Chains A and B, each alone.
Chain A
Amino acid sequence: MSVPFNEMEEPGGVRAPYRRIADWIEETGTQLLGRRRDEAEAIFRKIGITFAVYGEGGDPERLIPFDLIPRAFAASEWDQLDRGIRQRARALNAFLYDIYHRGEIIKAGVIPAELVYRNTAYLPEMVGFAPPGRVYSHIVGIDIVRTGEGSFQVLEDNCRTPSGVSYMLENREIMARMFPDIFSGGPVKPVDHYPDELLRTLKEVAPASCDGEPTVVLLTPGSLNSAYYEHSFLADLMGIELVEPQDLFVDEAKVWMRTTRGPQRVDVIYRRIDDDYIDPLTFRPDSMLGVAGLFDAYRAGHVNVCSAPGAGVADDKAIYIYVPEMIRFYLGEEPILENIQTYQCSKKDELSYVMENLHELVVKEVHGSGGYGMLIGPKSTKEEIEEYRKRIAADPAEFIAQPTLDLSTAPTLHEGDLCGRHVDFRPFCLVGKNIRLVPGGLTRVALREGSLVVNSSQGGGVKDTWVLRE
Chain B
Amino acid sequence: MLSRAAESLFWLGRYMERAEATARMISMGQRMAMLPGTQGQSEWTSLMQATGTPPPEERAITEADIVALLILDPESPSAVQGCLSKARENGRAVRTALTQEMWESLNEDWRYLESMDTQTARRQLVQILEWVRNKAAIFRGAVETSMLRTEGYFFLRLGSNIERADMTLRLLNVKYFLLLPETEVVGGGRDHHQWMSMLHAVSGLRAYHHNYAGDYAPWNIADFLLLNQAFPRSVAFSYGQIDGCLAKLEKNYGGAHNCQRTARAELNRLSRLDIHAVFSDGLHEFINDQIAKTARISKEVSDAYHF
A residues within 8 Å of B by Cβ?
45-48, 222-223, 228-229, 232-233, 235-236, 241-244, 246-247, 257-262
Contacts and interface: CB of A to CB of B under 8 A. Distances in A.
Given A223-B89, A235-B96, A236-B95, A260 B3 contact: yes
Interface stretch (B15-23, B59-67, B100-108, B177-185): B100-108
A48 B96 CA distance: 13
B151 interface: yes
B35 interface: no
B253 A260 contact: yes
A232 B95 contact: yes
Given A241-B96, A259-B306, 4 more contacts: A46-B104, A48-B92, A242-B95, A258-B2
Interface in B83-103: 89, 92-93, 95-96, 100, 103
B127 to A, nearest CB: 22
A259 B305 CA distance: 8
B23 to A, nearest CB: 23
Interface string B24-55: 00000000000000000000000000000000
15 contacts: A46-B108, A48-B92, A48-B103, A48-B104, A223-B93, A228-B92, A232-B95, A232-B96, A241-B5, A242-B95, A247-B2, A259-B2, A260-B6, A260-B307, A261-B1
A431 B95 CA distance: 27
B206 interface: no
A46 B103 CA distance: 9
Secondary structure dominating the interface of A? mixed
Nearest to A242: B96
B192 interface: no
Nearest to A240: B96
Contacts of B3: 247, 258-260
A260 B94 CA distance: 14
Contacts of B96: 232, 235-236, 241-242
Contacts of A258: 2-4, 306
B100 A260 contact: no
Contacts of A233: 95
B159 to A, nearest CB: 14
Contacts of B89: 223
A260 B95 contact: no
Interface in B63-79: none
B12 to A, nearest CB: 13
A247 to B, nearest CB: 5
A46 B305 CA distance: 32
Interface in B253-307: 253, 305-307
A273 to B, nearest CB: 16
> What 6 A-B pairs have minimum CB-CB distances, sorted nearest first?
A232-B95, A260-B305, A236-B96, A258-B3, A48-B107, A223-B92
Nearest to A231: B95
A259 to B, nearest CB: 6
A47 B106 CA distance: 10
Contacts of B4: 244, 246-247, 258
Contacts of B6: 260
Contacts of A246: 4
Nearest to A241: B2
A233 B3 CA distance: 20
A381 to B, nearest CB: 38
Nearest to B95: A232
B43 to A, nearest CB: 38
Contacts of A47: 100, 103-104, 107
Contacts of A223: 89, 92-93, 95
Residue among A258, A260, A262 having the largest count of chain B Cβ atoms under 10 Å: A260
Contacts of A48: 92, 103-104, 107
A261 B6 CA distance: 11
Nearest to A239: B96
Contacts of A241: 2, 5, 96
